[in-house]
Chain A
Amino acid sequence: MSLDVLALCEYGVTVGEERGASEVEAYGVLDEARRMEFTSTSTSATAAVATGLGIRVALGKRLGFYATSHLTKAEVRTAVERALAIAKVAQPDPAWESFPTTYGKASVEGVFDTTIPRLAVETMAEKARELIEGPPSFDRRTRITRGAITAGVGRVAISNSYGCALERQSTTASASVTVKAEAGGRTGESSEAEQRRGWTAIDFAALYHTASARAIRMMDAKPIESGETTIVWRNEVFASIVGIMLGGTLTADAIQKQRSPWIGKRGEQIAAEHLSVRDDGVKTAGLGTSAFDDEGWPQQDTPLIHHGVLVNYLYDHYTARQEDRASTGNAGRSYRSIPTPSATNLTLNPGDATLEELLGDTKRGLYIHEVIGDWLSNPISGTLNATVTNADLIEAGQLSHAVKGVMVSADFFAIIKDEATLLADDVENAGSTYAPSVKTPKAMVIGR
């Protein structure tokens, strides 16, 4: 749809200045999304438009914020007044300097797929049909139980009272399926999902093939005994874990506010020498890639752990100014919140082994494909816990049988420090976090 969000942002800035704000920033969004949701018994299609604008104002060092979903000039004026009303009663923030006084853009590629704005709902329906009908044609014992396909265009505009103004647009597409296999009273289930910047980057057939094959294998899943064992984590599973365990605690905000285990550790060896983690805000077609962050600062590729040494944190403008540094381009927000340092494409760099080598060199261990509850792990203490919903037992380098119904528990800080932790070369993403498959020598598996 047609709506000049940047013009409304600039209008908000002008109104704020007229009403006496010493600084004003307006951040607006316009998202258009289509979603197909289906189960084995029903399908629905949704087309949605979502708008929003967040206004930050400063009265000297007093700050106020108001956000609205209703983008009209009258509502923007109301939003400015409400933000000012808050600023008037807020305590001054002695550390406040200013909004960014310049904006900038990095060069990025692959974040906008021109197919998506023109994507017909009928085309998405056809793909949904392919996902629904795919599993039984792959193997008659399998059927889809649920899935979803989404495609969307997001636009962001930002401006402030230093005369800065920028706009960007991007696309995302995703598909997910859950497949159930059933035969002779035995059942197995598996889920697969892909999220990409481009519609054609989604491999729909691979989704249901992988999920169907794994669901069939899970029909013969057995529990295993408790004990300490080697784990090979599938890339997408480990990517999720990296995001949970490092994404929040490597931000300058967590460091400055004393809620990170990495306080005072810059320059220290916190991981094995062969481990490197970076936040690549300009990765081609990355899900967290943008030309500029949510404060108008250019995104960049920031090394965080380099050969095991903690070398940097993630900064937005505010936290960078506390340490007299430049932002790393990591301001993240929705229109309903103020920016805070956030990872863009947090990436555990790959190693040079293949996944097959990691598995083949394992005498006995667990190859974990799917977990639930990993987000319940504790990034401050390093305690990693997850319930394994889909895995294979590895015996003498071979996958011997499927395993389900076990918990896995480990010290993530020890995992990344361990020289014996091995990295594969097969980087995949869980949301905007990227990691290869990883083999860790010691974790506690709790079975029945």
Chain B
Amino acid sequence: MRELTESLVDKAVQLGASYAEVRVQEVESSSITVENEELRTFGRSGLAGVGVRVMVDQAVGLTASTVLNPTHLGTQVEMAVKAAKAVRTMGEPVTFAAAKPMQRAVRSPAIKSPECLSDAEKIALVMDANKAAKLPGVKNRMTTLGWFLDRRLFTSSEGAAVSIETGMTGLAHTSVASSRGRMESVGDSRSQCSGFEFILDTDWGRFTEEISQRSLQAAAARAPTPGAYEVVADADLIGIILHEAFGHAAEADLVTTQESVLAGRRGEPVASPLVSIVDAGVVAGGYYLPFDDEGVAKRRQVIVEDGVLQRFLHTRETAHKMGVPPSGNARAQDFGRKPIVRQTNLFMERGDQSLDELVEAVDDGLYVCGKGAVGGEVDVALGSFTFRAGPSYTIKKGELGEMVRGVSISGRILDTLHRVAAVGKDVAIRTSVFGGCGKNGQRVRVGYGGPPVRIESLLVGGGG
């Protein structure tokens, strides 16, 4: 494979590229889905392809193909050069910030391979987890076991050669319950960048049964009255808030175009002094990203320290524009897409309060929970974000009250982080084998998390 990538890089240089990189990727994915104790699907898939990015006269052209034929790929390199030439007078000339060409081969930690269980044993494991969720009133139970091995090789005309092998596995479950004619769906998942030891060491029956119980309670619960509330966001949810409410705005491609509300605010307070935010490539519970898709090492970086914005997340292109070193945040969905600025594992650092202390301080508010949360979306220019939490609880005079369902939350990025009034001490960081974060039509896996926090005011929807 190295011979092929080197020949493609050489060809691009011969055709006039001042820089060329080749990304080769192979992914083997598998999933088993059981629905209402019937095997619904057991599928496997293999994806392999080559992506080439070239720079000609400071313009960028890309090409990608799943046809792994050297002659065809040579033609694709010609296409990339042609594409770069077609756009060379558009926009500003592109320059990459200097990065040390790395030569490394790394892999995520794994003790047991997926083959430690036979296919029949894997089906039985999913079936057992699905059975455990069977409770009266639960109409539908769907359980999926997923795992993959993703191998990426990055080579460039600067001499970089970085290979990363990431293995990941996880289990997702959704229960749909009905109560007095109203249906409610609650889903959750747990994943880890590891071998199958994570699957073997987790009590999945307990996990799915709890989701069913929650779906039953949620179906019978009322929706909160829409309005502005003081909230305690649990550790599961704070990661989503942070990812949407802050992380995207810290991505430098949105800063250099002046789209982000954080543009021009480096060195300024953007959050309560209680808030410190970190982006790190390798962290317990998160996704495994020791190098980005430009071959740049991703280290732990403090983005916000004691409420003050310290730095943004960068590709080599945005780093050059802002005159800083690249941060290792260039990520592409796959070999076929252009690396763009993305978060890796973005999380809030711990504070000093217990969950009880956070709740006790709220007179009339909500304890907003992540279990069953669907996700979120942000408009970085307006500074608005929104997400749907899982079934949550009212807080009355410092005590948890009834469950409420259908909780959607909306806020303004800067307002929300300034309104963090207290930070908990128990940090949880998550990632997922089942999905990721979308941006510019590309989906990548991320890690997210933090401690529970108390926020003075958030808009809560939930009518209907």
Residues of A within 8 A of B63 (CB): 46-48
Contact of A261 among B120, B123, B183 (CB under 8 A): B183
User: Cβ of A189 and Cβ of B382 under 8 Å apart?
Assistant: yes
Shortest Cβ gap from A440 to chain B (Å): 12
Closest to A444 in B: B463
Shortest Cβ gap from A80 to chain B (Å): 12
CB contact list, A251-309 vs B, under 8 A: 257-259, 261
Of A39, A261, A410, which is in contact with the most chain B CB atoms at under 10 Å from its CB? A39
Does A145 count as interface, using CB distance less than 8 angstroms? yes
CB contact list, A110-136 vs B, under 8 A: 121-122, 124-125, 128-129, 132
User: Cβ of A380 and Cβ of B376 under 8 Å apart?
Assistant: no
Does B223 count as interface, using CB distance less than 8 angstroms? yes
- On whether A39 and B91 interact (CB within 8 A), knowing A89-B123, A373-B387, A446-B459, the answer reads yes
| Alpha-carbon gap, A54 to B68, bound state (A) | 18
Which of A14-22, A59-67, A151-159, A164-172 faces chain B?
A59-67
- On whether A405 and B382 interact (CB within 8 A), knowing A42-B91, A380-B176, the answer reads yes
User: CB-CB contacts of B36-67 with A at 8 A, as 1s and 0s?
Assistant: 10110111111111000000000111111111
Does A336 count as interface, using CB distance less than 8 angstroms? yes
Does B35 count as interface, using CB distance less than 8 angstroms? yes
Closest to A92 in B: B39
Residues of B within 8 A of A226 (CB): 226-227
User: Cβ of B92 and Cβ of A404 under 8 Å apart?
Assistant: no
- On whether A381 and B405 interact (CB within 8 A), knowing A145-B259, A387-B385, A410-B463, the answer reads yes
Residues of A within 8 A of B65 (CB): 48-50
Shortest Cβ gap from A138 to chain B (Å): 19
User: Cβ of B43 and Cβ of A338 under 8 Å apart?
Assistant: yes
Residues of A within 8 A of B67 (CB): 1, 3, 49, 51, 71
| Alpha-carbon gap, A326 to B80, bound state (A) | 47
User: Cβ of B463 and Cβ of A383 under 8 Å apart?
Assistant: yes
Does B402 count as interface, using CB distance less than 8 angstroms? no
| Alpha-carbon gap, A180 to B381, bound state (A) | 9
User: Cβ of A259 and Cβ of B185 under 8 Å apart?
Assistant: yes
Of B35, B65, B82, B386, which is in contact with the most chain A CB atoms at under 10 Å from its CB? B386
Instruction: Tally chain B residues at the interface, Cβ within 8 Å.
Output: 88
Does A412 count as interface, using CB distance less than 8 angstroms? yes
Contact of A383 among B43, B82, B462 (CB under 8 A): B462
User: CB-CB contacts of A316-348 with B at 8 A, as 1s and 0s?
Assistant: 000000000000000000001110000000000
Does A103 count as interface, using CB distance less than 8 angstroms? no
User: Cβ of B87 and Cβ of A44 under 8 Å apart?
Assistant: yes
Does B86 count as interface, using CB distance less than 8 angstroms? yes
Shortest Cβ gap from B146 to chain A (Å): 13
Residues of B within 8 A of A338 (CB): 41, 43
| Alpha-carbon gap, A41 to B317, bound state (A) | 10
User: Cβ of B45 and Cβ of A409 under 8 Å apart?
Assistant: no
User: Cβ of A372 and Cβ of B227 under 8 Å apart?
Assistant: no
Does A90 count as interface, using CB distance less than 8 angstroms? yes
Does A408 count as interface, using CB distance less than 8 angstroms? yes
User: Cβ of A65 and Cβ of B42 under 8 Å apart?
Assistant: yes
Closest to A124 in B: B86
Contact of A67 among B45, B90, B182, B374 (CB under 8 A): B45
Residues of A within 8 A of B74 (CB): none
User: Cβ of A404 and Cβ of B39 under 8 Å apart?
Assistant: no
Closest to A146 in B: B257
User: CB-CB contacts of B371-385 with A at 8 A, as 1s and 0s?
Assistant: 000111111011011
Residues of B within 8 A of A382 (CB): 464
- On whether A93 and B39 interact (CB within 8 A), knowing A41-B256, A68-B46, A145-B259, the answer reads yes
User: Cβ of B86 and Cβ of A121 under 8 Å apart?
Assistant: yes
User: CB-CB contacts of A404-426 with B at 8 A, as 1s and 0s?
Assistant: 11011111111000000000000
Contact of B382 among A48, A52, A377, A389 (CB under 8 A): A389
User: CB-CB contacts of B451-464 with A at 8 A, as 1s and 0s?
Assistant: 00000000111111
Closest to A215 in B: B381
Shortest Cβ gap from B62 to chain A (Å): 4
Does A70 count as interface, using CB distance less than 8 angstroms? yes
Closest to A227 in B: B226
- On whether A258 and B36 interact (CB within 8 A), knowing A43-B91, A385-B386, the answer reads yes
- On whether A180 and B86 interact (CB within 8 A), knowing A89-B123, A376-B387, A383-B463, the answer reads no
Of B59, B65, B182, which is in contact with the most chain A CB atoms at under 10 Å from its CB? B65
User: Cβ of B375 and Cβ of A376 under 8 Å apart?
Assistant: yes
Closest to B219 in A: A381
Does A38 count as interface, using CB distance less than 8 angstroms? yes
Does B192 count as interface, using CB distance less than 8 angstroms? no
Does A86 count as interface, using CB distance less than 8 angstroms? yes
Shortest Cβ gap from A333 to chain B (Å): 11
| Alpha-carbon gap, A132 to B228, bound state (A) | 39
Residues of B within 8 A of A258 (CB): 36, 139-140, 176
Shortest Cβ gap from B140 to chain A (Å): 4
Of A37, A54, A375, A386, which is in contact with the most chain B CB atoms at under 10 Å from its CB? A37
Shortest Cβ gap from B458 to chain A (Å): 10
Residues of A within 8 A of B228 (CB): 446, 448
Residues of B within 8 A of A40 (CB): 91, 257-258
Residues of A within 8 A of B441 (CB): 148
User: CB-CB contacts of B70-108 with A at 8 A, as 1s and 0s?
Assistant: 001000100110111011001110100000000000000
CB contact list, B230-274 vs A, under 8 A: 253, 256-259
Shortest Cβ gap from A79 to chain B (Å): 8
Does A82 count as interface, using CB distance less than 8 angstroms? yes
Shortest Cβ gap from B449 to chain A (Å): 20
User: Cβ of A146 and Cβ of B259 under 8 Å apart?
Assistant: yes
Residues of A within 8 A of B76 (CB): 47, 49
The 8 A-B pairs of least Cβ separation, nearest first, read A411-B464, A373-B386, A45-B83, A67-B45, A385-B408, A409-B461, A387-B386, A376-B388
Sample of 24 A–B contacts (CB below 8 Å): A49-B76, A70-B68, A86-B42, A86-B44, A89-B42, A89-B120, A125-B87, A125-B90, A145-B258, A178-B381, A226-B227, A257-B142, A258-B139, A258-B176, A380-B176, A381-B406, A384-B464, A389-B382, A407-B226, A407-B386, A412-B464, A446-B459, A446-B461, A448-B459
Given contacts A37-B338, A387-B377, 10 further A-B contacts (CB under 8 A): A45-B83, A47-B62, A48-B64, A51-B66, A70-B68, A93-B39, A124-B86, A187-B381, A381-B405, A389-B384
Chain B interface (Cβ < 8 Å from any Cβ of A): 35-36, 38-39, 41-49, 59-68, 72, 76, 79-80, 82-84, 86-87, 90-92, 94, 118-120, 123, 139-140, 142, 176, 182-185, 223, 226-228, 253, 256-259, 317, 321, 336-338, 374-379, 381-382, 384-388, 405-406, 408, 410, 412, 440-441, 459-464
